Amino acid sequence: MSALDEILLGRSAIVCVGPGGVGKTTTAAALALRAARMGRKVLVLTVDPARRLANSLGMESMLPEETRVSPEALARAGLACDGELWAMMLDTKRTFDRTIERHAPSEDARSKIMDNPFYDQLSSALAGSQEYMAMEKMYELRDAADFDLVVLDTPPTHQALDFLDAPNRMEDFFDSSALKALIRSGKAMGRIGAGLFKVNALILKGVGRFIGADVFLQILGFLEALTSMSTGFAARARHVKEMLRQDDVAFLVVTTPDPLALEEGRYFHDRLTQEGMPFGAFVVNRMRKPFFADAAPGSELVQVLADRLWESPTVRMRARSDVQRVARRLVSAAQDYTALSIADRRRVDELIARLPTPDLVYEVFHFQRDIHDLAALHAFEQILFRDVAA
Ligand X SMILES: Nc1ncnc2c1ncn2[C@@H]1O[C@H](COP(=O)(O)OP(=O)(O)OP(=O)(O)O)[C@@H](O)[C@H]1O
Query: Given the rule CB under 6 A, which of 221-229, 329-337, 344-352, 361-369 is the region that contacts ligand X?
Result: 361-369
Contact status: 25 vs Mg ion (CB under 5 A): yes
State how far the Cα of 157 lies from the Cα of 162, in Å rounded to an integer: 6
Pick from 312, 309, 315, 364: nearest CA to 331 = 309
Residues of 322-360 as b/e, b for ≥16 C-beta within 10 angstroms? Answer: ebbebbeebbeebbebbbebbebbebbeebbeeeeeeeb
Contact status: 285 vs ligand X (CB under 6 A): yes
Query: Given the rule CB under 5 A, which of 24-32, 158-166, 291-299, 375-383 is the region that contacts Mg ion?
Result: 24-32
Q: At what angle do helices 259-274 and 320-354 cross, to 10 degrees?
A: 20
Contact status: 48 vs Mg ion (CB under 5 A): yes
Contact status: 371 vs ligand X (CB under 6 A): yes
Partners of residue 382 on adjacent β-strands: none
From the CB of 285, what's the least distance to ligand X, in Å? 5
Query: Given the rule CB under 6 A, which of 6-14, 18-26, 95-103, 307-315 is the region that contacts ligand X?
Result: 18-26
* Distance linking the first and last C-alpha atoms of the chain: 18
Kindly tell me which of 122 and 254 has the beta carbon lying closer to Mg ion. 254
From the CB of 25, what's the least distance to Mg ion, in Å? 3
Per rule CB under 6 A, count of chain residues that contact ligand X: 19
State how far the Cα of 376 lies from the Cα of 354, in Å rounded to an integer: 32
Kindly tell me which of 215 and 254 has the beta carbon lying closer to Mg ion. 254
Q: Which of residues 171-190 bind Mg ion (CB under 5 A)?
A: none
Kindly tell me which of 316 and 369 has the beta carbon lying closer to ligand X. 369
State how far the Cα of 126 lies from the Cα of 90, in Å rounded to an integer: 13
Q: Which of residues 21-60 bind ligand X (CB under 6 A)?
A: 21-26, 48, 52
- Comparing every residue's Cβ against Mg ion, the nearest one is 25
Sheet order of strands, 84-89 included: 67-68, 84-89, 41-46, 149-153, 13-17, 249-255, 279-287, 361-365
- CB-CB contact of 129 with 241 (8 Å): no
From the CB of 180, what's the least distance to Mg ion, in Å? 36
State how far the Cα of 167 lies from the Cα of 163, in Å rounded to an integer: 7
Contact status: 265 vs ligand X (CB under 6 A): no
From the CB of 269, what's the least distance to ligand X, in Å? 16
- CB-CB contact of 165 with 40 (8 Å): no
Which residues are near ligand X by CB under 6 A? 20-26, 48, 52, 155-156, 285-286, 364, 366-367, 370-372
Which residues are near Mg ion by CB under 5 A? 24-25, 48
